[in-house]
Amino acid sequence: MSIRIAESVEFSAISCRGHTASILDFGGVGNGKTLNTAAFQRAVNELSKYASDGGAQLFVPAEVFQDIKSWGVVDPLPSYGHGRDAAGGRYISLIFGTNLTDVVITGENGTIDGQGITILAPVTSPNTDGINPDSCTNTRIEDAYIVSGDDCIAVKSGWDEYGIKYGMPTKQLIIRHLTCVSPYSAAIALGSEMSGGIEDVRAEDIMAVNTESGVRIKTAVGRGGYVRDVYVKGMSLHTMKWVFWMTGNYGSHADSHYDPNDLPEIKGINYRDVVAENVTMAARLEGIAGDPFTGICMANVTIGMAKKAKKYPWTCSEIKGVTSRVVPQPCSLLPDKGQDKWVTCDFPTDTLPIDDLKLQKCSYVKNYL
Q: What is the dihedral angle through the alpha carbons of 211, 152, 116, 362, rounded to the nearest 10 degrees?
A: 140
Residue pair 153/142 in contact (Cβ under 8 Å)? The answer is: no
User: What DSSP state is assigned to residue 25?
Assistant: G
The distance from CA 304 to its chain's CA centroid, rounded to whole angstroms, is: 27
d(CA 164, CA 352): 25
SS3 readout for 47-113: HHHHCCCCCEEEECCCCECCCHHHCCCCCCCCCCCCCCCCCCCCCCCCCCCCCCCCCCCCCCCCECC
Q: How far is CA 4 from CA 7, 29, 328, in A?
A: 10, 20, 73
Q: Is 150 a catalytic residue?
A: yes
> Which ranges of the chain does DSSP label H, i.e. alpha helix?
37-47, 160-166
d(CA 63, CA 181): 32
d(CA 62, CA 3): 25
Peptide bond into 324 cis (omega under 30): no
Q: Is 51 left (phi over 0), alpha (psi -120 to 50) or beta?
A: alpha
Q: Which of 67, 85, 143, 150 is catalytic?
A: 150
Report the 10 Å Cβ neighbour count for 311.
Answer: 5
Active site residues: 150
